[in-house]
Amino acid sequence: MASLSAASRLCLRSAAKPAVPAVRALSSTAVQAAGAASYSSPFKGETTGSKIPNFGKYASKNSAAGNKLFSYFMVGSMGALTAAGAKSTVSEFLVNMSASADVLAMAKVEVDLNAIPEGKNVIIKWRGKPIFIRHRTESEIAEANKVDVASLRDPQNDDDRVQKPEWLIMVGVCTHLGCVPIGEAGDFGGWFCPCHGSHYDISGRIRKGPAPLNLEIPVYEFPEEGKLVIG
C-alpha cells in the first residue's frame, strides 16, 4: 500500500506540472522561423550614399596660377574695403565724441590787459570758475618777494606763481571749501574769504585761516603784448 501510494503521488505531481513553457518556446521558434523566411532587406547592392559625387562641372577651367591670382585679388580688395569702413566708423565716432563749438569756445578766454589799470583787480569767468587778474604795482611785487617762504603753510616763491611779475592770474576759489574770496581785503592786503576766515597775501598764498593751499594758478600765456589767453 505504501509503494502504491508513493507511485500515485508521483503521477499526480507529474500531471499537475504545466506544459506552457514548452509551448511558448515552440511558438517563439516558430515565429522567428516564419519571420526569417519572409524578411527582405532594403539595402541591396550599391547605395547612392556610398558613391563619391563628381564635382567636375564646378571646377575652374583656368590654370592654378590664375586661380591664385584671382583669390589674392579678392582677399586684398575685401581687406581694403574693410579697412576703409573701419576708418570711416572710427572717424565718425571721434567726431561725435569731440567737444562742440560752444564748449571749445569756453575752453579758452582772451583778455585785453590794456584795459586793466595798475593796482586793480578784474574778475572774469572761465569754465564756470572766477578768475582773478591783478595788475600789481612795484610795491606789491616787492612785498610778495620779501616774504619768508619757509614760514608759509604752502611754501611757494612769488616767481613760481607768475610769468610776468606785474600780472597775477589765479583761480578765484578758496582752497578750503570752494568759496570766492574778496579782493583787496584781509590782514595781508590780498584776498579774504569771509566764509571761514582764510587770508591770502598779494601773491595769492595762504597766510592765515583754515585753507590748506594757495590759490590755484590756471594755464595761461601771453601770445603778444597786452594780450592774455587763459586755457
CB 132 within 8 A of CB 183: yes
CA separation for the pair 171, 215 (Å, rounded):
6
- Catalytic-role residue among 135, 176, 196, 199: 196
What is the separation, in whole angstroms, between the first and last Cα of the chain? 137
CA separation for the pair 166, 141 (Å, rounded):
7
Tell me, yes or no, if 196 is annotated catalytic: yes
Grid cell for residue 192? 579774504
CB 116 within 8 A of CB 133: yes
Grid cell for residue 134? 591783478
CA separation for the pair 147, 184 (Å, rounded):
18
CB 194 within 8 A of CB 209: no
| Chain Cα centroid distance, residue 75 | 32
Using DSSP, how many helices (H) and how many strands (E) does the chain show?
5, 10
Active site residues: 196
